[in-house]
Amino acid sequence: MKEYGACGEDYIARVDVLVLEKTIAVVRVIEDNWHGYKFTDILNLNKINGEWKIVAKVYDTLSKEG
């Protein structure tokens, strides 16, 4: 298994809250240039006992090399 170290200075991450309704939320997480990859995750969250928990995830991964 390949181990990755810290990201470079050109790494960018962003979290967008798309929907927020009392105890449910949908967020988009974008990470750009994580060791040459770009990730876009869509997360469904549910507030359970006062804490936000990820209950579902879909994602797309793109290599900048290809």
Q: Tens digit of pLDDT for each residue in 36-49?
A: 889 999 999 999 99
Q: Tens digit of pLDDT for each residue in 15-32?
A: 999 999 999 999 999 999
Percent of the chain at pLDDT exceeding 90: 70
Inter-residue contact 27 to 18 (CB < 8 Å):
yes
Instruction: Spell out the long-range contacts of 5-13 with Cβ–Cβ below 8 A and sequence spacing 24 or more.
Output: 7/33, 7/34, 7/35, 8/33
pLDDT greater at residue 2 or residue 56: 56
At 62 the pLDDT is 77
Task: Write down the pTM of the prediction.
Answer: 0.78
